[in-house]
Copies of this chain bind each other. A is one copy, B any other.
Amino acid sequence: MVPGAPSFASKLIPDFFKLKHYVSKHSFADGNSMLGTGKYSDGKAAYEGKRIYLPKPGDFLGTAAQVKEILGGKGAGLAEMTDLKLPVPPAAITPTSECENYYNAGKIMDGALREHVRGAIAEIEKQTGKKFFDYEGSGDILLISVRSGAKISMPGMMETVLNIGLNEKRVEQMIDGGMDARFVCDVYRRHLQYFGSVVLEAGTIVENGENVSLFERALSAKREMQGVRTDAELSVASLRELISEFKQIIKEAGKEVPQDPFEQAMAAVEAVFRSSYGEKAMKYKEKNSLPPEMPTAVIIQAMVFGNLNAKSGSGVFFTREKNTGEKCIYSDYLPNAQGEEVVSGVRTPVTFKSLKECPFDRKIGRQLFRIADRLEKHYRDMLDIEYTIENGRLNMLQVRTGKRSGKAAFKIACDLVDEKMITEKEAVKRITTDNVLSVLLPQIGSEEKGGCKADAKGVPASAGAGCGIVVFNAKKAAKIADDALAAGKKPPAMMFVGKFTKPEDYSGMIAAGKSGGGVLTAEGGPTSHAAVVCGGNGIPAVVGCRDLRIDIANSRAFINGKEVKEGDFVTIDGSTGEVFARKLALVPPELTSDFKRVIGWANSIAQLPVMANADTPSQARQAVELGAKGIGLCRTEHMFNDKSRIGIVQEMFLAETLEARQGFIDQLLPMQRKDFGGIFSEMTGKPVTIRLLDPPMHEFLPDLVKLERAQAGRDAEGKADAAQDALLERVRALHEENPMLGVRGVRLLYLHPEILDMQVKAIIEGALDAAEQGSKPVVKIMVPVVEVPELFAWARERIDKVAADTLAGRGATLDYKVGTMIEIPSACLSAGEMARHADFFSFGTNDLTQTGLGLSRDDTALYIARLVSDGRLAHDPFKTLHPDIAKLVAMTVRDGKAANPHLEIGICGEQGVDPLSIRKYLYNAGLDSVSGTPMRVPLAIIAGAQLELEGNGIAR
């Protein structure tokens, strides 16, 4: 049934639909992709067509994308560093195609590849002058590592096998040859552990539903027995005991470590191949929306040992500060240690930021600094470098672009421009969605977070940081908020903590979100109820936190063992999944000058103007700061909801006669006039699109259920209240089964044109007021919920009439435009006729998605999340335009512009400023603008600019 011929991927995974994830998510520019030096040109790269590639200085490597595609990210870095003649341990790389071959052959490695690997190791022997195949006990023994590396990094998800080449005999030979016994035994112990668990898949059992490593258990027992804290302190005797125990573990699993070094190497290569489609990797890819079909390269490299002796050690090195983006060196170094120990946190590394602070030989330090500088200039980006010093000799092990905060991304981009390393255009290209979002959401202050580690980590479910007092009961959270508001107080910041969330927790979750806190759950993934609700409502959330245990009976929880009681503070970072069992200060979003510079550059590159949806002068001001070129949607009903007005609005709708209604309308007129005047003044010279009343009447009326309950209560108590009974009757009569498809927008105005009259009058008068005060109002009046052209024709005629009367009354003139929302499928289908009456169209893609897909956003969030997580929908259609809705957009633009060449067409639904929607459907759709929430304006600008820079700009 499923389309598409069977392919490599479809053999591996049951559902080919999953591929769709990737195509869309990753079509957004990867700003951190490595860029070559410019020496790349067309031509055959050195590794092309090779079944194994040994990097050499001077090799032609092709484009950055090509080298990563074929050699994987890690392999590409090694090849580049080799090319730059940096001290890289000799290595050989099998291209990613070998992994495919391996799978296509039915998980069989062919003889030819075996021979290529043998030859490559022989070459490494030659380069290092060490022996791998035939070690006779004299000279240096060559141990190798076999590592994975796909084109996109999946840290920890694929396998690595270290210390390959050791066996019983060689261990004794090495010790006999004078090598440090502790070192040799430790390396052998590690070898057995790695090979045993990774290659032979031995030593893992399930206890109480958890995977337990017998190797780790033996290690920890040994440390305890010997009374030491770290593995490095274990005695030779202990290590020898461990070696026997490890062998026993492997034997008990019915396995055996081959004694032949080459067989070890071959088995390790196969294990790496397999790990690229192992359970861990596949789950990671799914979770991170990576393509399932992503084979790994295999890197076979001479081992170097940072734990060889006191003149050895391992470190990581950042070329700029990753939180602030400041131009300063930053390195963590651990003497006498292997790389993995630097990040494990068991021993505390030495941090240094200058040559002066360098904890090892200055000469090596100077060499490292020089190399780092050279690499940064080569890659023209901030880098994250791994190095190992073996017996006083520096080895470069890995280079990649460094991870950085959003703030740092903007600073680094600007600095690199100022340092003339990159152009403004390249700076724009490097900014990611996450960079922009993290700048615009509250974050945990970097000083606060400091070096301190999170207490636990969960699934980052909804971006932004939150901090508040723990509440275990959602209803309680809602009540706390209600009580505070009733008492005229600001509710305390609350963190709703639960095993999971249920639909009935909704109000409590909203209350927690509004208070500045968030939601933390022990269970659930990115599509759980908690994640979906929080994501949809902008509530910071971490879900599926395995280290969170809730003891509801005692109103407490344990975060990685730390007890928190109701009322204690917890801080979460919904962007990273970090959880802190204490109060951390949050940094409110701040628009740095770097941010503004980059957005400015992008705004001058992007050709599709981005507007903002804003309802007040202050929102309008904020929107302009964020790069908006006008207001694409100003929702008048938000002004109606103002506390001081809601009473008047209710009376207006409840009025039984036109005369009574007119009285309330007359009270609203001056208020709306002032609202509109304020926005026009703020936005002088920029278009302001004001939408007439949109929601159904009952949204402004008292809650039906509350009134029903109150009456039932009165009935039970035998009390009567005729006025309340009458109110209930009226609200019942106005209740709608499906308000989304009910009498709202222009339909309501058609039945009550006096409201339209008032709003139009207020708009025209507000514009005239603004003009009198020196502003230049650019007025656009928009009619919502129009299903047929006849209805818009009616509205347009009435608007023109009221406007003419109002202008005549003031003896003034004013240009204004009248347009319609396109948010109902039939409006798209009669776009030509609609266009004949309209000055502009604006797609309401939220409602158009609801009607076009027949999905109520309020009611189907979980269902949609299920479809997305099952791979049946590529995206949530309320975030990224659905292809069918995109078809409606295309059809409407075509017919609308054909019927009226002067027609302006925009979008004011959320998808209009979604980078992916812009990229896939909107940028070249013939639109004149897009508009969305101010916070998303910069995303849309960046997306447009990046499209232009990629050569996918607007066709002219």
Q: Residues of A with Cβ closer than 8 Å to B?
A: 1-3, 17, 502-504, 704-705, 708-717, 729, 732-733, 736-743, 747, 750-751, 785, 787-788, 790-791, 793-794, 796-797, 823-826, 829-830, 833, 836-837, 847, 850-856, 858-860, 863, 866-867, 872-873, 882-885, 887-888
Contact = CB atoms under 8 A, between A and B. Distances in A.
B787 A853 contact: yes
Given A713-B716, A741-B856, A825-B853, 5 more contacts: A712-B716, A741-B851, A741-B855, A741-B859, A826-B853
A502 to B, nearest CB: 7
A496 B738 CA distance: 28
Contacts of A883: 830
Contacts of A751: 863, 866
Contacts of A856: 736-738, 740-742
Contacts of A791: 867, 872
Given A751-B863, A825-B888, A737 B858 contact: yes
Contact of A825 (B836, B854, B858, B873): B854
Nearest to A790: B872
A17 B863 CA distance: 43
A851 B887 CA distance: 16
28 contacts: A1-B793, A2-B793, A502-B733, A503-B733, A705-B708, A708-B708, A708-B712, A709-B709, A712-B713, A716-B716, A736-B858, A737-B739, A738-B738, A738-B856, A741-B741, A741-B855, A741-B860, A750-B866, A751-B866, A785-B854, A824-B854, A825-B825, A825-B852, A825-B884, A825-B888, A826-B852, A826-B885, A829-B887
A457 to B, nearest CB: 30
Contacts of A826: 852-854, 882, 884-885
Interface SS of A by simple majority: helix
A872 B794 contact: yes
A407 to B, nearest CB: 39
B729 A504 contact: yes
Contacts of A884: 788, 825-826, 829-830
Contacts of A1: 793, 796-797, 837
B851 A736 contact: no
A237 to B, nearest CB: 56
A790 B873 contact: yes
A403 to B, nearest CB: 35
Nearest to A736: B859
A768 to B, nearest CB: 25
The 4 closest A-B pairs by CB, nearest first: A741-B856, A709-B712, A824-B854, A738-B856
Given A502-B733, A747-B860, A855 B17 contact: no
A787 B855 CA distance: 8
A747 B863 contact: yes
Given A790-B17, A791-B867, A860-B747, A853 B873 contact: no
B739 A788 contact: no
Given A708-B708, A738-B859, A866-B751, A788 B872 contact: yes
A955 to B, nearest CB: 24
Contacts of A850: 738, 741
Q: Which of A1, A824, A863, A888 has the largest number of chain B CB atoms within 10 A?
A: A1
B825 A851 contact: yes
Contacts of A737: 739-740, 856, 858-859
A709 B716 CA distance: 10
A771 to B, nearest CB: 27
A118 to B, nearest CB: 48
